[in-house]
Structure 1
Amino acid sequence: MDAIVIEQFGDAEVLRPGRVPDPPSRSGWTTVRLHTAALNWHDVLVRRGLYASPLPHLPGADGAGTTPDGEPVVILPALFWGAREAAPAPGWELLGDARHGTYAQFVSVPDECLAPRPAGFSWAEAAALSLVGATAFRALVTRAELAAGESVLILGAGGGLAPGATAIAKAIGALPFVTSSSDEKIAVARTHGAVAGVRYTDEDWIDQARAMSPGGDGYDVVLDSVGTWGESLRALRPGGRLVVLGASQAEQATLAARPFYFGQYSLLGTTMGSPADFRGLFRLVAEGRLGAPTIDSTFALSDAADAHRRLESGRAYGKIVLLIA
């Protein structure tokens, strides 16, 4: 089959078209003929070698395609989550880390990691839904228990997660606000449901963010995918919840203990999404409360390197998708 093969870790140039064997058939797994694969920042980290994937390797977590019976499906890339909903089992993994992913004509996944393609979604939109959608659903609904009427500040409006998180917050009746590096991205975020936004490049962005929150007291929830916990806590109202699901800017955070416990804050870690989160996400879609993901651009599978350059440029808003067949 045709695929994008990484022979060594490095910059986007290491993403090269190649030929590899089709995945083998096995009981309890389904081989999906992929039509699209959506990019995530996680793919960049895999390409750089952060997860020490075995080489040669096929990256990619998100995908949509057809089963051998012709059923159109979307792939849930969180494999082997386990029986406990509170956290994944020790042996869980993300598709495209230890085993070949979706930058290929075919991929094999456990049967529980498939869901029907939502009605009315294009192949690109279907591929773009799963990882970001399930991750944002788990962060906001399962972990933060964000409720209708509450406010949430979503850091980084231009990132791959933020548009999906904004849409999910709006779908459940919450009030999403955003931060971004540019007024243009804030304007785009507002057209997709954000109430308002501030530039995090401004020195007083936290004061601005608190001032625009309902009542000016701070947010019920802050969604932090960048690792700036101290700043995020300052944007919360007393008793608010900080949900952490990434570290794109900082790998470590230092918090002052007394302000934290006197503020009655909650600090919640989360990652990816379980099959139950996946089903919850698709219920929102089926009920007509959540529409298709925002697509920034599409590229041919053979142009995966250019797609990664687009992702790393920081200019994209929404998902970047590879067209396979």
Structure 2
Amino acid sequence: MKGIVLNRTLADKIALEEVILPDLKKDEVLVKIKAAALNHRDEWCRVGLYPNLKDGVVLGSDGSGIVESVGSEVDIEWKGKEVIINPALYWGPNQAVQSKEFEILGMPRNGTLAEFVIVPADRLFEKPSHLSFEQAAALPLAGLTAFRALVYQGEIKSGRKVLITGIGGGVAQFAFQFALAFGAEVYVSSSKPEKIHRAMEQGALGGYNYLEATWTENALAETGGFDLIIDGAAGSGLNDLVAVTKPGGRIVFYGATQGNPGKIEARRIFWNQLKVIGTTMGSDEDFRQMIAFVKDKKIVPVVDSVFSFEDAVKAFDRMRVGAQSGKIVLTP
């Protein structure tokens, strides 16, 4: 089969190459990929910013497709079904935190950017019928991360004021859609005015350009502060988020694309009794709840663009410069 593999000897660091499929184990399934989606994790692997990298590994965590064959201990009823894949492996029994064995599909084991992928059968979920393969492929990793951040860590409720930072990115876009579906009053931030404008067309009550020096003052004047903030950047901007969080509020962050903050406004955090919470991906229970929520609310993931596997470098480059609004999808 063909797959998009990490190859750090090349200028582009990735290539569409022939990959040998291993034998199917008794508890595994072979899925014919119809669509796969990119995450920042894939680009970090490409540029060497992810641990335990191995050349020749198929990248990609998100995928949807059709079950081609099943292992000897897998229910034969799965064969031929349209599915999406939970890319979180070995979370473990503790809902509060992942196990030491936790890993994500796509590194170090082969991922979804290939014609076929082999996964444990318990990673399969039936594809929501209202979604295309491309839309379904956009959902798993970013959708799971956003859902856990909002529900388990953020304890979102209807009527709460919620700020989603970095709107346009995959997790942020899902957090935005989910928060709206929960009945929250949703606001966004971005450095790109066009992304703020698009979010307001989709239901955001307001938006802020975090490059503007007065954005925190404007946000406080307009909203009185936020009950919950979902952030993937951290960095020096974390103190701005502390400044616009209501007393007793929560800041949940799922990434640190801007690195560590130079300093933390500790006094403001403890005096206002804020909760600053980290979150990563999600448990099997989070994934089940997320799929049920998507089906119930008929949520449709935002697909920014669709590329062929042959144009993978263009797709990765689009993610690298942050040009997307929604998920970038690839098809075999």
TM-score band (shorter)? over 0.9
**Separation of aligned partners in 1, 2:315 and 2:189:** 24
How big is the shift at 1:254?
2.8
For residues 150-229 of structure 1, the aligned pairs below 5 Å read 150-213=160-223, 216=224, 218-227=225-234, 228-229=237-238
Indicate how the Cα distance of structure 1 residues 74 and 240 shifts in structure 2: closer, same or farther if over 3 A, else same: same
- Structure 2 vs 1, CA of residues 85 and 293 (structure 1 numbering), >3 Å: closer, same or farther? same
Which digits, 9 at most, give the CA deviation of each residue in 1:137-164, with x for residues without a partner? Answer: 0000011101111011111112221111
**Is the 2:88–2:281 contact (alpha carbons within 8 Å) kept by the matching residues of 1?**
yes
TM-score relative to the length of structure 1: 0.94
Contact 2:6/2:54 (<8 A) preserved: no
Paired residue for 1:299?
307
Instruction: Give deviations 1:81-100, integer Å, cap 9, x for gaps.
Output: 11111111110001112111
Contact 1:229-1:253 within 8 A present in 2 as well: no
Q: Map Cα deviations across residues 270-315 of structure 1 (whole Å, 9 max, x no partner).
A: 011111111111111221x241100110000111110011111222
Pick closer, same or farther for the CA change 1:10–1:145 going to 2, 3 Å.
farther
TM-score after normalising by structure 2: 0.92
For 1:292, the aligned partner's letter is: V
Give the root-mean-square deviation of aligned CA atoms.
Answer: 1.4
User: Does the alignment pair 1:258 with 2:267?
Assistant: yes
What residue identity is the alignment partner of 1:221? L
Say whether the 8 Å CA contact 1:179–1:198 is kept in structure 2.
yes
Structure 1 stretches of 4+ with a deviation exceeding 6 A read none
Corresponding residue pairs, total: 319
**Identical counterparts, % of pairs:** 38
- Aligned partner of 1:146 in structure 2 is 156
- Distance in 1, matches of 2:8 and 2:239, equals 37
- Secondary structure of residue in 1 paired with 2:91: coil
Distance 2:186 2:282 in 1: 21
Distance apart, 1:9 and its partner CA: 7.0
Aligned partner of 2:35 in structure 1 is 36
Q: 1:203 to 1:40 in 2, by over 3 A?
A: same
User: 1:52 maps to which residue?
Assistant: 52
SS in 2 for 1:45: helix
- Conserved 8 A contact 1:171-1:284: no
Contact 1:63/1:102 (CA < 8 Å) preserved in 2? yes
Structure 2: unaligned runs, 5 residues or longer: 69-78
Residue 117 (structure 1) aligns with: 127
Partner of 2:251: 242
Q: Deviations over 1:30-58 (max 9, x none)?
A: 22111111011111111122223222221
Which runs of no fewer than 5 residues in structure 1 stay unpaired?
A: none
Tell me what 2:23 maps to. Answer: 24
Task: Look up the SS of the partner of 2:200 in the other structure.
Answer: helix
